[in-house]
């Protein structure tokens, strides 16, 4: 039997005006936005609806903003019950509200703590990320390892987005060396991204400790369907395991290609992206060409 997967985007899919239409046309959505403003102790809705790109790019705004857009759209516009859920990086928190592992309030608090902790880690270790196109994953992994062994600089695969698109993460020097070597090895592009830090790398260790304490103190319910988590790329239903994977995600890679493959193997044929972008719809189709994809925002 074919299954319906709901997927949720991560950082980078924000835009000014996000969620405004929902707020203005849906009373339940408006209520949830106002609740979020109280929980976060600032009017994030104002920044989402009318903030500049620069304001929306700040990690402590971006993460809760994308989470809110995704979760409020899911709660107010989706009537289908998901057979499985997944999220790209930050999107995993949205997925855990969709499958009822986390309450809206608890997940928002965790996202806020995660965003602030990551912001602090970025300030502590100036670092960056780069997108590598059209080079096999194992070749990228091999070059990253060589650079780390030779120079001691941190360079690791961070996001396996789809075949032929892998994002690497590390120190500024490490990423510069990696971009040169990856291009020399045949990468079509190795492009430094406009991000403020090395997400999904060991340079996020300080943030991981802070997030771990918050996650351990939060109630995780038994989910209504499995979540396919980034770090293990397989179905997880056990609350203790979900917590561990969510903590590990800060310093480990997002295995999105492998996650989509696992969902496909378990019967998913229909993928709905819920949130402010269409990025994941495109990635799913690159991994699984026959998939039916659509979006809700």
Q: Out of 94, 112, 171, 200, which one is annotated catalytic?
A: 200
Contacts of residue 185, defined as CB under 8 A and 6 or more positions apart, other chains included, come to 135, 139, 143
CA distance 220 to 41: 24
User: What would the two tokens of residue 120 be?
Assistant: 């602090």
> What's the distance, CA 206 to chain centroid?
19
Please, are residues 78 and 118 in contact by the beta-carbon 8 Å criterion? no
Partners of 129 in the β-ladder: 169
Q: How many CA atoms lie within 13 A of 222 on its CB side?
A: 0
Contacts of residue 238, defined as CB under 8 A and 6 or more positions apart, other chains included, come to none
Phi, psi of 253 (to 5 degrees): -75, 150
- How is 193-227 classified by DSSP, letter by letter? -S-SS-TTSGGGHHHHHHHHHHHHTS--PPPSS-E
CA distance 32 to 170: 37
CA distance 115 to 168: 20
Q: Out of 89, 94, 112, 277, which one is annotated catalytic?
A: 89
- Nearest to 155, CA basis, from 120, 137, 179: 179
Active site residue 69: no
Active site residue 200: yes
Tokens 């799913």 -> residue: 284
Please, are residues 8 and 85 in contact by the beta-carbon 8 Å criterion? yes
State the catalytic residues.
89, 200
């Amino acid at each position: 039997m074919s299954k319906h997967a709901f997927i949720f985007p991560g950082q980078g899919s924000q835009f000014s005006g996000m969620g405004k239409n929902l707020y203005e046309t849906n009373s339940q959505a408006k209520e949830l936005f106002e609740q979020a403003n109280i929980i976060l102790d600032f009017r994030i809705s104002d920044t989402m609806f009318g903030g500049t790109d620069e304001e929306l790019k700040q990690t402590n705004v971006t993460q809760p903003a994308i989470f809110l857009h995704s979760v409020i759209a899911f709660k107010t516009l989706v009537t289908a019950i998901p057979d499985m859920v997944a999220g790209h990086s930050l999107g995993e928190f949205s997925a855990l509200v969709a499958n009822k592992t986390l309450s809206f309030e608890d997940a928002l608090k965790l996202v806020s703590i995660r965003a602030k902790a990551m912001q602090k880690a970025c300030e502590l270790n100036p670092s960056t990320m780069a997108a590598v196109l059209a080079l096999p994953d194992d070749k990228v992994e091999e070059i990253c390892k060589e650079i780390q062994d030779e120079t001691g600089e941190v360079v690791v695969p961070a996001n396996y987005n789809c075949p032929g698109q892998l994002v690497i993460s590390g120190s500024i020097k490490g990423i510069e060396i990696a971009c040169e070597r990856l291009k020399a090895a045949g990468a079509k592009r190795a492009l430094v991204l406009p991000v403020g830090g090395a997400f999904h790398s060991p340079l996020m260790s300080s943030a991981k400790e802070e997030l771990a304490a918050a996650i351990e103190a939060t109630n995780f319910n038994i989910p209504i369907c499995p979540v396919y988590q980034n770090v293990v790329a397989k179905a997880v239903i056990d609350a203790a395991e979900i917590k561990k994977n969510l903590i590990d995600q800060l310093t480990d890679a997002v295995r999105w290609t492998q996650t989509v493959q696992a969902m496909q193997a378990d019967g998913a044929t229909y993928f709905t992206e819920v949130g402010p972008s269409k990025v994941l719809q495109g990635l799913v189709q690159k991994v699984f060409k026959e998939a039916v994809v659509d979006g809700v925002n």
